[in-house]
Structure 1
Amino acid sequence: MLRLIATSLCLRCQRATALPLHLRPCATLSSVENQQTVEALYDLSVDIQKVRQLKGWVLHQSPAYTKEVADLLRDMGASGSIIARILAGHPEAVLCHPEQLQAQRELWMSVCPKHKELVGIIEKFPASFFTSSSHHDNQRNNIAYFQSLNLNKRIIAKLMASAPQSFSRPVEQNELMVRTLQQAYQDLGGDEANMKVWLQKLLSQNPFVLLKPPEVLRQNLLFLRDKGFSTAELLRLLSKLRGFVTELNPDSMRRTLAYSQDTMGCSEAELRDIILDCPAVLYHPDIILAERFKGLLSAGISMSQIKETPTVLELTAQIVNYRIQRLRLHGYDVRTGSLEVLNGTKKDFETSSGKLLLRRERPIFNPVAPLKADD
């Protein structure tokens, strides 16, 4: 009997260690499901089987605040279907104490005052909203810091949603990274009047840049300088707004540069010009570039065409093949024409290819149209 009890306790401890740390002190684990939670979720039309399959441990917790969470979301304008989706995907929400939820609501509304927009954020990033109360002070301090930089509230809300770790940690760490970015921008000759806009776009397009060690940025800029990039060219790269300079390291860039130069048969100076036109050559691994080069060359496109329009390397082989087929139907042969028509977003491409079709199909003389005076 003692052995059975010991075994049961061990199994219970193992299950408890799998729980998020912040849930253990205020919630207890039971060997049977909390029927109040299950029934409350059923009443909200939540997919219980999905919860059991992915995060069944939540159903064994007590206390749970399912009704309170649903009421909070409903009070912000969330529909029943939205509430059901949120709780099915992130059932841990029901373990948050109502006071904690209200504090989170007030915190988020300081940067996202419209309930409809906040509900949209919660639906997409529930883990960022239903977070530990132990992070509230750090979140509040980080919000105040980013507001002191005069960043747009929408940008701050996006940062909180997509990179919540950066708001859960001490504000001093974010201050250090932001100062490093600002210093690099200024040292490279960036216009201080434009720095706020540059920083907003950088953080918006790559929120995780804040989580990178500041030293990575310095090392990468030094590496690129050693490769012959001028101060003005480094500023252009830093201003491409994706923060890719912090996503790389000298070893990966060295391999990519060597592969690209060997594949395209160009000089170092030519390669620098290509990278300035298309930073994708720098930040994509050589295995990705190899696949894209292969796709372009197999479509009959020459290496000289690729070098003239390197931005086509930003597109996957599947996208390139689709666009080539569409253009071919319009009578355009990419093997003999410019590759510029392949570029752009899906909307850009559809528009440009449509214009191409109109240009080729429009009659030379329209007998219905009035003649111009010059004619």
Structure 2
Amino acid sequence: MMRSVTASLCFYRCQARVFSPHILRPCSTSNQIENKLTIDALYNLSVDISRIRQLKSWVLHQSPAYTNEAAALLKDMGASGQVVARILELYPEAILCRPEEMQAQKELWLSVCPSEKDLVGIIEKFPASFFTASSHHANQRANILYFQTLHLNRRIISKLMASAPQSFRRPVSQNEEMVQTLQRAYLDLGGNEDNMKIWLQKLLSQNPYVLLKPPEAMRENLMFLKDRGFTSSELLQLLSKLRGFVTELNPQAMTLTLAYSKETLGCSDAELRAIVLKCPALLYYSVPILADRFKGLLSAGVSINQILETPTVLELTTQIVHYRIQKLRSYGYDIRTGSLEVLNGTKKDFEMSYGKLQLRRERPLFNPVAPLRAAED
């Protein structure tokens, strides 16, 4: 009985300590005392050990650890000491990866990365994607070969590996099924086969996690939208918005959102479809989020008709809308009578529009170059 209880406690202690699902260490390798060799090695690398103690102290108790080996691998690829320290602070689990596993990962990633410098940049942003156990290497290699057969360029494949590593750790058949579902939907909706590679490449680069969604979800969502009156060409437009959002939705949520939007905007089903094509965000924002955004716009004096003309303004948070309206007012732009287009876009887009208003206000009323007319006698 005592042995059973001890084993159970050991199991749950391991579960609590293991932050990353792909670097596992048995209980026998850890204790309540920090590994002095690890501490010394991290100190010599100028790593902020207090940060690791605060967030992932369990790593410091593990033995063996390969701190110097991880640092040497990164430096051999051109990483500076500062970059090495930043990577180990962000993902200290890296020091638990065996040297042969690190080397195997390096060779694997360099098959799709243009250079070691590019690989270091990826590791700096996505260290958990690189430092992984050797048990995943076979699936990773098979998935790389599969995506190469689709003629995806190397940068796209490396981006997929970095941002959605789970899709490369699972059997290639699962990715193959989802890709085939996407391709079939694209062609069935009237997409051009000659453009399919570019479409797929953009879709995967914008939303790598689309590969992790069940194919049935996409089929159900497309069928739901078709039943709501969207034509094949319109569905192709939605599918080609480069985010793969159709796989992120579900019919229940879309039903609530569309019903709320229709009632709030006071429009017909046909008008609502036209609005969705302009602003697909209406499909995937929840009712509470949309309610807050409508309330924010209306409280600022914006009319429903203005929102109908520029529905993409609903993609902006209420805070951003109020901030931009205040800046525009400071230069005499009345949002209640002007176009909402000036509110749209990224921060850079808005600053450009705002800059034009500044120039318009500051422009002199006369041409300083033109000669003044002489006073008449």
What is the 5 A alignment of 1:167-178? Answer: 167-178=168-179
User: Across the two proteins, how many residue pairs are aligned to each other?
Assistant: 369
1:209 lines up with 2:207 in the alignment: no
Q: 2-side partners of 1:6 and 1:251: how far apart?
A: 46
Q: 1:201 to 1:369 in 2, by over 3 A?
A: farther
Q: 2-side partners of 1:54 and 1:6: how far apart?
A: 31
Is the CA contact 2:160–2:205 (under 8 Å) kept in the aligned structure 1?
A: yes
Shift of 1:73: 0.6
> What amino acid maps onto 1:220 in structure 2?
N
> What amino acid maps onto 1:17 in structure 2?
Q
> What amino acid maps onto 2:15 in structure 1?
T
What is the aligned partner in structure 1 of residue 344 from structure 2? 343
What is the aligned partner in structure 1 of residue 316 from structure 2? 315
Percent identity between the aligned chains?
Answer: 71
Shift of 1:29: 1.7
**CA deviation string 1:270-306 (max 9, x = no partner):** 0000000000111111111111101100100001100
Q: 2-side partners of 1:35 and 1:258: how far apart?
A: 62
Is the CA contact 1:27–1:63 (under 8 Å) kept in the aligned structure 2?
A: no
What is the 5 A alignment of 1:5-154? Answer: 11-18=9-16, 19=18, 20=21, 22-24=23-25, 28-154=29-155
Q: 1:22 to 1:364 in 2, by over 3 A?
A: closer
Q: 2-side partners of 1:9 and 1:138: how far apart?
A: 32
Is the CA contact 1:27–1:61 (under 8 Å) kept in the aligned structure 2?
A: no
Scaled by the length of structure 1, the TM-score of the pair is 0.94
What is the aligned partner in structure 1 of residue 180 from structure 2? 179
Shift of 1:6: 9.2
**CA deviation string 1:168-210 (max 9, x = no partner):** 0000000000000000000000111111111111111111000
Structure 2 spans left out of the alignment, 5+ residues: 372-377
Is the CA contact 1:143–1:156 (under 8 Å) kept in the aligned structure 2?
A: yes
Q: 1:140 to 1:364 in 2, by over 3 A?
A: same
> What amino acid maps onto 1:282 in structure 2?
L
Structure 1 residue matching 2:86: 3-state secondary structure: helix
Q: 1-side partners of 2:4 and 2:193: how far apart?
A: 66
Is the CA contact 1:82–1:123 (under 8 Å) kept in the aligned structure 2?
A: yes
What is the aligned partner in structure 2 of residue 255 from structure 1? 256
Q: 1-side partners of 2:267 and 2:370: how far apart?
A: 51
> What amino acid maps onto 2:117 in structure 1?
K
What is the aligned partner in structure 1 of residue 219 from structure 2? 218
**CA deviation string 1:11-50 (max 9, x = no partner):** 5444223334642369712332211111111111111122
What is the aligned partner in structure 1 of residue 229 from structure 2? 228
Is the CA contact 1:28–1:62 (under 8 Å) kept in the aligned structure 2?
A: yes
Q: 2-side partners of 1:148 and 1:27: how far apart?
A: 44
Off by >3 Å, runs of 4+ in structure 1: 5-14
What is the aligned partner in structure 2 of residue 373 from structure 1? none
Shift of 1:56: 1.4
Q: 1:296 to 1:202 in 2, by over 3 A?
A: same
Q: 2-side partners of 1:369 and 1:135: how far apart?
A: 74
Q: 2-side partners of 1:73 and 1:50: how far apart?
A: 21
Structure 1 spans left out of the alignment, 5+ residues: 371-375
Q: 1:39 to 1:11 in 2, by over 3 A?
A: farther
Q: 1-side partners of 2:368 and 2:23: how far apart?
A: 77
Shift of 1:358: 1.6
Q: 2-side partners of 1:165 and 1:350: how far apart?
A: 38
Is the CA contact 1:16–1:29 (under 8 Å) kept in the aligned structure 2?
A: no
Q: 1-side partners of 2:15 and 2:235: how far apart?
A: 47
Q: 1-side partners of 2:134 and 2:75: how far apart?
A: 22
What is the aligned partner in structure 2 of residue 200 from structure 1? 201
> What amino acid maps onto 1:124 in structure 2?
K
Is the CA contact 2:23–2:97 (under 8 Å) kept in the aligned structure 1?
A: no
> What amino acid maps onto 2:102 in structure 1?
L
Q: CA-atom RMSD, angstroms?
A: 2.0
